[in-house]
Amino acid sequence: MVEKRSVIQRENVYRWFSELNSAQRVEFLCGLLDLCVPIELRFLGSCLEDLAGKDYHSLRDAEIKANNPADLATLTNITDEVVRSKLLISLALLNSDNREAAGVLFRTLTHIDSIINNYGLQLNDGQTGDQFLLLFTMASNHPAFSFHQKQVLRKELSQIQGIVITSCNNANLSTSSSTATSTTVTTTTTFTPCVAGSHFLHKVS
């Protein structure tokens, strides 16, 4: 009975995980890895190395660019969706010890305040919000960034999450108001964050 219950719970976790968006999947997996002991991490590293090796040749050119500070320095306009896609690929392929390239990416990503305030970037657009959430989730968990850089990026991520949630709540409130009937009723509405598109990293690749 206990074993059967365990199988059901595991299937529920698999189903729940498959419904998360890319940023949530990355955040959750990084949290799980932090809970593993060293010998488990070494084993998981071997499994990941084997899986990643299957795409080594097809991603080789992109990996070279992702670890070249000169190439990364050209990806500054993060209001451009194409540039954001390239940044996502660069973060995915960035070597864990490439501090110089991480520094270039850090300078690009920390312009988000001025972009949101001056450019008026709309993070309530589903795909745009997904991209920014994934960008900052990956960067704030990437080992190539220093502790201080991760702290700054995590703060930026929290700001973006707040904007996305507020925008979604406002949209839900607007929809609720437009569909309300003339009859006076008392209701309690619980707003939840918008459900983002699921596997954005897979789509980018």
pLDDT of residue 92: 95
Mean predicted lDDT score pLDDT of the chain: 81
Instruction: Give yes or no for residue 179 having a pLDDT over 70.
Output: no
Output the CA–CA distances (angstroms, integers) from residue 37 to 13, 43, 98, in the order listed.
Answer: 21, 10, 25
**Residue 72: band (very low, low, confident or very high) from pLDDT cuts 50, 70, 90:** very high
Contact indicator for 72, 66 with CB cutoff of 8 Å: yes
3-state helix, strand, coil in the chain (%, to 5): 70, 0, 30
Listed ranges 1-15, 76-90, 113-127, 138-152; the one with the highest mean pLDDT: 138-152
pLDDT number for residue 174: 62
Q: What is the pTM of this model?
A: 0.77
Q: Cα-flanking dihedrals φ and ψ of residue 96, to 5°? A: -65, -20
- 116 or 178: which leads in pLDDT: 116
Winning range, highest mean pLDDT, from 37-46, 76-85, 156-165: 37-46
Q: Measured in whole angstroms, how far is the alpha carbon of residue 133 from the centre of its chain?
A: 4
**Between 164 and 197, where is the model more confident?**
164
Higher-confidence residue of 175 and 7: namely 7
Quote the pLDDT of residue 197: 44
State the number of CA atoms in the 13 A half-sphere of 40 facing the CB. 6
Looking at residues 86-98, what average pLDDT do you find? 95
State the Cα–Cα distance between residues 173 and 166, nearest whole angstrom.
10
